[in-house]
């Protein structure tokens, strides 16, 4: 545990592979809070920018972790868009690799109308190069509201052959996706090399420089709805009590 950081938010230790909080006043070096000494390495020529409670990837720079993708996993991120970009994809946690057709992501997307935004989870499910998406309904609320920090979770659950996307500020019920055509999450190809390492603020295929990221945690297990909501409650408490930001607003 990093003694330089407040202890108000303790990450769920079960299956935790890496956890980070960002912000120049708390932890500009962003040491791993999971206890596993997972590392962050700048990937790209330009370092991200830091603000009090988050970092913003540059157009050519975000972080590669030392955490390998697992067949079942849970990706949890606190993030927000920092500028509108039509059809923009803003990666929170990802190792999505379109060239080699593998990887998984939690990210945020605008559509071409310049008024709608949605959260997505994405994964290449099997060895046939088929990518699957699970997404929240598009939200046409005022951009000032949509640009609040949110806690978003994607669960990739091989045992139940599901992807689940949670936006807890909207309630406990996840959006659930089950692959069609007999495809199985358990059959998906995982990269054992550098391509299997999870990124924060980018995918393997590109950097997301239109997003602010305040917190990221990666689990090598599929969390249940009850566990996700407990994780959200801890994060919400930390952000409200320590940072003065309401993730439910």
Give DSSP secondary structure letters for 173-197.
Answer: PPEEE--STT--GGG-----SGGGE
Find, among 169, 185, 183, 140, the residue nearest to 228 by Cα: 169
Q: Which residues contact 145 (CB under 8 A, 6 or more apart)?
A: 249
Q: Are 61 and 49 a contacting pair, CB within 8 Å?
A: no
Q: SS3 of 130, please?
A: coil
CA distance 245 to 227: 22
Going from the C-alpha of 135 to that of each of 63, 201, 241, the distances in angstroms are 24, 19, 30
The pLDDT score that the predictor gives to residue 36 is 92
CA distance 5 to 232: 19
Q: Which residues contact 213 (CB under 8 A, 6 or more apart)?
A: 22, 54, 55, 56, 57, 77, 78, 79, 92, 200, 201
The pLDDT score that the predictor gives to residue 101 is 80
The pLDDT score that the predictor gives to residue 87 is 57
Collect the ranges in the chain with pLDDT lower than 50: 1-8, 26-27
Q: What are the start-end ranges of the E strands in the chain?
A: 16-21, 40-43, 49-50, 55-56, 62-68, 73-81, 89-94, 104-110, 117-124, 131-135, 150-157, 162-166, 175-177, 197-200, 211-219
Architecture of the domain whose range is 16-241: Sandwich (2.60)
**Cβ neighbours of 246 (radius 10 Å):** 12
- pLDDT tens per residue, range 158-170: 999 999 999 898 8
The pLDDT score that the predictor gives to residue 86 is 58
Q: Which residue has the tokens 């088929």?
A: 130
The pLDDT score that the predictor gives to residue 97 is 83
The pLDDT score that the predictor gives to residue 142 is 58
């Amino acid at each position: 545990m990093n003694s330089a950081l407040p202890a108000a938010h303790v990450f769920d230790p079960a299956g935790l592979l890496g956890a980070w909080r960002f912000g120049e006043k708390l932890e500009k070096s962003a040491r791993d809070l999971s206890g596993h000494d997972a590392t962050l390495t700048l990937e790209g020529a330009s370092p991200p920018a830091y603000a009090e409670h988050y970092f913003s990837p540059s157009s050519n720079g975000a972080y590669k972790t030392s955490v390998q993708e697992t067949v079942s996993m849970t990706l949890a991120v606190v993030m927000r868009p920092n500028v509108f970009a039509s059809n923009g994809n803003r990666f929170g946690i990802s190792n999505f690799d379109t060239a080699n057709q593998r990887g998984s992501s939690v990210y945020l997307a605008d559509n071409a109308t310049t008024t709608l935004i949605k959260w997505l989870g994405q994964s290449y499910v099997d060895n046939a190069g088929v990518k699957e998406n699970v997404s929240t309904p598009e939200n046409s609320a005022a951009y000032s509201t949509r640009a609040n920090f949110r806690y978003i979770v994607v669960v990739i659950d091989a045992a139940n052959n599901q992807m689940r996307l949670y936006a807890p500020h909207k309630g406990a019920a996840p959006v659930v996706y089950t692959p069609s055509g007999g495809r199985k999450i358990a059959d998906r190809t995982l990269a054992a090399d550098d391509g299997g390492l999870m990124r924060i603020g980018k995918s393997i295929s590109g950097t997301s420089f239109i997003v602010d990221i305040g917190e990221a945690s990666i689990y090598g297990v599929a969390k249940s709805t009850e566990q996700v909501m407990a994780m959200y409650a801890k994060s919400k408490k930390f952000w409200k009590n320590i940072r003065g930001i309401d993730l439910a607003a």
